[in-house]
Amino acid sequence: MATNEADGGTLLLKEFGLDLAWVARIRQALLVWSSESVRDLPWRGERDPYRVLVSELMLVQTTVAAVKPFYARFLSRFPTVQTLAEAEEAEVLKAWEGLGYYRRARQLHAAARTIVHEHDGIFPTEPQAILALPGVGRYIAGAIRSFAFEHPAPIVEANTQRVLARWMAWTEELKTTRSQSRLWGLAEILVPDDTPGLFNQAFMDLGATVCLPKAPLCFFCPVSRDCKARDLGQQDTIPVLTPRAAPLLVEEACAIVVDSVDRLLVVKRASGGLWEGFWEFPTIHLQGADPGGRSFGVGVSLAEGAHRLTGIEIELGPELHSLKYAVTKHQVRLHAYRAVVLGGEPQPGPGLIEVGWGSLEELERLTFGSAGRRLLSWLSKNRLTTFGAYRH
Ligand code: SF4
């Protein structure tokens, strides 16, 4: 049997009362199971490392269902690492718009430029060179290496770490260094030399479809006889994960400023902040933590804040709409107020690089964050409410 269990691997197996025969059974069972139970994913079987990188970065903190349409669209816009490297950042963000966690889009863009400028446009195959690409950690490196290059590289992510913890009946908190070293150690032993990509895919599929976070489907599990947690009746209490802290609540307000020809006032964020390079309606922070860096200090009204941000004096009308969105550890409630122009010249204020006017159709072509994009859709559907009657 080809194994990766040298250098302490056998000791690790012993620590959990496992052995090489167990490794062989798990490999065999997963490979047989995967030939009948694969998930239909657009990136399944992909051997192009660039495409693997795109799919894995999109999947960070995001569901498969959410990623599917973006994956196809992004690759039709940037089919090769060269086309992505040559693109402007604004184009890349636009293609990523709606997927969230825009840092990943910037990392992908930077990775493409690194491949083109430092590796002559050829995706590196050396483990250290792959790990050095922006946005690539141990997990994504494992995916690229095993899926694209058939290297026996392990994968530990949300699904596989749950499965591993149950196989070992690991009752310690999963995020500790000690736990992570055991999980990666066991994953390294398990991945076979001959079919690493197929094995890793089956491993992730098992976690995603059978070994579910709550109420795992042990009855249908191809490795149930070799699962220690099931043996001990602990499959519902393993893995042990500290619950996430409750999100920090934040209140923000933005002005939907309409001019006499139904154009809307928007601003573009400068570099350095969370929303670098994105357009939005003039927004101030009202209450709670300030994830977007929009604070003017306590007591600044929306009209005053919008004036400082844009150079445009406005008169506020009623609240038009409000929506919630999540960013990092924050749950934000954004209140949108209708407003009209009293005077002034557009002048970007603190944290901004541009102020401009545009029709809804023109704004559709700009890159907004998810909240701004949702507001734009709402405004399109409610044009009369937005533009009618309240105008100087
Ligand atoms: S037997 Fe149950 S707990 Fe164990 S791996 Fe299979 S589904 Fe998960």
User: Does 213 score more than 90 pLDDT?
Assistant: yes
Domain co-membership, 82 together with 57: yes
Q: What is the residue with the minimal CA distance to atom 2 of ligand 1?
A: 218
Domain co-membership, 263 together with 145: no
Domain co-membership, 208 together with 255: no
The domain boundary residue, chosen from 231, 260, 286? 231
Q: What is the residue with the minimal CA distance to atom 1 of ligand 1?
A: 224
User: Does 296 score more than 80 pLDDT?
Assistant: no
What is the distance of C-alpha 247 from the center of its chain?
Answer: 17
Residue 386: per-residue pLDDT: 61
Tokens found for residue 7: 């250098």
Domain co-membership, 262 together with 219: no
Mean pLDDT of 147-162: 97
Tell me whether residue 113 is in a domain.
yes
Mean pLDDT of 218-231: 96
User: Does 390 score more than 50 pLDDT?
Assistant: no
Confidence band (pLDDT; 50, 70, 90) for 244?
confident
Tell me whether residue 243 is in a domain.
no
The domain boundary residue, chosen from 199, 231, 263? 231
Residue 133: per-residue pLDDT: 98
Domain co-membership, 209 together with 142: yes
Domain co-membership, 224 together with 103: yes
Tell me whether residue 209 is in a domain.
yes
Q: Which atom of ligand 1 is nearest to the CA of 238?
A: 3
Structural domain count of the chain: 2
pLDDT > 70: percent of the chain:
93
Domain co-membership, 226 together with 255: no
Q: Rounded to whole angstroms, how far apart are CA atoms 311 and 294?
A: 16
pLDDT tens by residue, 32-77: 999 887 788 999 989 999 999 999 999 998 999 999 999 999 999 9
Tell me whether residue 3 is in a domain.
no
User: Does 160 score more than 50 pLDDT?
Assistant: yes
Confidence band (pLDDT; 50, 70, 90) for 272?
confident
Candidates 243, 254, 247; CA nearest to 331 is: 247
Point out the residues that are catalytic. Answer: 56
Mean pLDDT of 239-252: 90
Confidence band (pLDDT; 50, 70, 90) for 389?
very low
Query: Distance, CA 208 to ligand 1 centroid (Å)?
Result: 12
Domain co-membership, 209 together with 281: no
CATH number at residue 223: 1.10.340.30
Residue partners of 361: CB distance under 8 A and separation at least 6: none
The domain boundary residue, chosen from 206, 231, 256? 231
Residue 391: per-residue pLDDT: 47
Domain co-membership, 115 together with 79: yes
Tell me whether residue 188 is in a domain.
yes
Tell me whether residue 237 is in a domain.
no
Residues in a beta bridge with 354? 268
Residue 359: per-residue pLDDT: 93
CATH number at residue 364: 3.90.79.10
Beta carbons of 30 and 206 less than 8 angstroms apart: yes
What is the distance of C-alpha 213 from the center of its chain?
Answer: 20
Residue 11: per-residue pLDDT: 85
Tell me whether residue 2 is in a domain.
no
Q: What is the residue with the minimal CA distance to atom 4 of ligand 1?
A: 227
Please give the residue that has the higher pLDDT: either 216 or 386. Answer: 216
Domain co-membership, 210 together with 255: no
Mean pLDDT of 158-169: 96
Q: Rounded to whole angstroms, how far apart are CA atoms 171 and 73?
A: 42
- Secondary structure letter of residue 226 according to DSSP: G
Q: Which atom of ligand 1 is nearest to the CA of 207?
A: 8
Residue 117: per-residue pLDDT: 98
Query: Distance, CA 212 to ligand 1 centroid (Å)?
Result: 8
Confidence band (pLDDT; 50, 70, 90) for 5?
very low
The alpha carbon dihedral of 227, 233, 236, 238 has a sign of: negative
Domain co-membership, 205 together with 265: no
Beta carbons of 252 and 332 less than 8 angstroms apart: yes
Cis peptide before 42 (omega within 30 of 0): no
Residues, the chain, total?
392
Beta carbons of 160 and 139 less than 8 angstroms apart: no
Q: Rounded to whole angstroms, how far apart are CA atoms 255 and 320?
A: 10
pLDDT tens by residue, 324-351: 998 888 899 999 999 999 999 999 999 8
DSSP helix/strand/coil, 137: coil
The kind and range of the H/E element at 264 are: strand 264-269
| Binding pocket residue ranges, ligand 1, CB within 6 Å | 163, 166, 210-211, 216-218, 221, 223-224, 227, 229-230, 235
User: Does 273 score more than 90 pLDDT?
Assistant: no
Domain co-membership, 167 together with 258: no
Threshold 0.75, pTM exceeds: yes
Tell me whether residue 227 is in a domain.
yes
Residue 286: per-residue pLDDT: 87
Query: Distance, CA 228 to ligand 1 centroid (Å)?
Result: 9
Domain that residue 131 falls in: 9-231
